[in-house]
Structure 1
Amino acid sequence: MNAWIIHLIEQGGYAGIFLLMVLENVLPPIPSELIMGLGGIAVARGSMTFWPLLLVGTLGSTLGNYVWFLIGDRFGYLRLRPIVGRWGRWLTMDWSAVERATAFFQRHGQWVVFALRFSPLLRTMISLPAGLAHMSHARFLAFTFAGAAVWNTLLIHGGRLVARYLSAFEDAIGYGIVGLTGVVVLWYLWRVATWRPRD
């Protein structure tokens, strides 16, 4: 099972990694930990190399976050609120969550765009208030790229470390990957099913 999962990542190649990382930051529930971790295993197996993997993964993450930034920057508060009201269930966010994220951004400053790249729950959410605050595009992209590069480096190295134990724990790791993916999908479906707007 483990070899089959890794084979899917390898078959997609760098373009597949790029696309998955864009989607991971635009649509839930695809975890970057899984994508780049498996990429790290592919590096250890010799079917991918570190620097191209890091580059495409970081570019994909940056582009995905830039989508949310542009939505906030171009739409603004007045036009964005009815969109969140209509599609909030599928995004598992309501307007009060946007307001809380915006207040957090304003309270802590623009550096949080870099710092929150290491937060599984907030790294994408912070892009929207950064756009709403009309942060400099160049600065947003630089902070996002730098933070994502550090995070992806850690994930790739984590995958390379896991690869050392593949032969001894191949079945356990394979089932663990499937289990983690299933948990993330079920969590997202549960959020959608139980979602209630607070505002």
Structure 2
Amino acid sequence: MNEAMNMEGWINSLMDTLGAPGAGLAVALENLFPPIPSEVILPLAGFAAASGRMNLLAALLWTTAGSVLGALALYGAGALFGRERVLAIATRLPLVKVADVERTEAWFARHGTKAVLLGRMVPIFRSLISVPAGVERMRLPVFLALTTLGSALWNTVFVLAGYVLGENWEQVTDYVSVYSEAVLLAALAAVACFVAVRVVRAVRPGPGARRARR
């Protein structure tokens, strides 16, 4: 509880000092440091806009810019270090699970470019999806376009929710927790199916092998 209040106070202080760019900076950091949740930053930015502390359009633009910059940093890390070094780094980072990175990789392998767009709207995958995109050297213009679109959709929903709810912006986190659990379960099921199909294909003999047995 105290940790959440401290984080909320830090985000508010950042926005009071820098305005909408402060909200963008907080979102950029959220991409790099998962413990900073966008589900808190974005509604807070909407509440700040509703209370006249920043312009609503500026909040939307800056938070989207922050999302893209943070995603671009992770894309660069994936492209620079490669898969093995990224996994080695992940094992040393607090609150970052290697299993989450591996699940994100499998999701990217299955959905390709669509994973970058949809991943921006899935908890945990939101940040990590940029890493396999970098490792696989997805064309940068395509990555930026999909990341910008997905981030704009996600950010707009939460900033506007905070704007409408005002002082009751914290209600957003209740809805997000339900959404997060449902989406994560669906994502895990999809990844499990993908892995199962790959295993079955690897074990099952091909047509040539079956003809040879006959």
Which category of TM-score, normalised to the shorter sequence, fits these structures? 0.7 to 0.9
Go from structure 1 to structure 2 and tell me whether the alpha carbon gap of 1:98 and 1:120 turns closer, same or farther (over 3 Å shift). Answer: closer
Distance 1:21 1:97 in 2: 20
Go from structure 1 to structure 2 and tell me whether the alpha carbon gap of 1:159 and 1:22 turns closer, same or farther (over 3 Å shift). Answer: same
Higher relative contact order (CA 8 A, sep 6+): 1
Secondary structure, aligned partner of 1:118: coil
State yes or no: 1:73 paired with 2:73. Answer: no
Give the structure 2 partner of residue 188 of structure 1: none
The one of 85, 88, 91 equivalent to 1:82 is 88
Distance 2:90 2:163 in 1: 39
- Kindly report the root-mean-square deviation, in angstroms, between the aligned alpha carbons of the 2 structures: 2.6
Give the Å deviation of 1:47: 2.3
Rg larger for: 2
Moved over 6 A (4+): none
State yes or no: 1:40 paired with 2:43. Answer: no
Give the structure 1 partner of residue 150 of structure 2: 147
Distance 2:47 2:100 in 1: 36
The one of 23, 31, 48 equivalent to 2:29 is 23
Please, which runs of 5 or more residues in structure 2 have no aligned partner? 175-214
Equivalenced residue count is 165
State yes or no: 1:116 paired with 2:122. Answer: no
Give the Å deviation of 1:91: 4.5
**Superposition TM-score, scaled by structure 1 size:** 0.73
The one of 37, 60, 63 equivalent to 1:57 is 63
| Amino-acid identity (%) | 38
Give the Å deviation of 1:99: 3.0
Please, which runs of 5 or more residues in structure 1 have no aligned partner? 167-172, 181-199
Distance 1:128 1:121 in 2: 12
Q: Deviations over 1:83-135 (max 9, x none)?
A: 234x24x15222x4433321210111211111121112211111111111110
Amino acid at match of 2:107: F
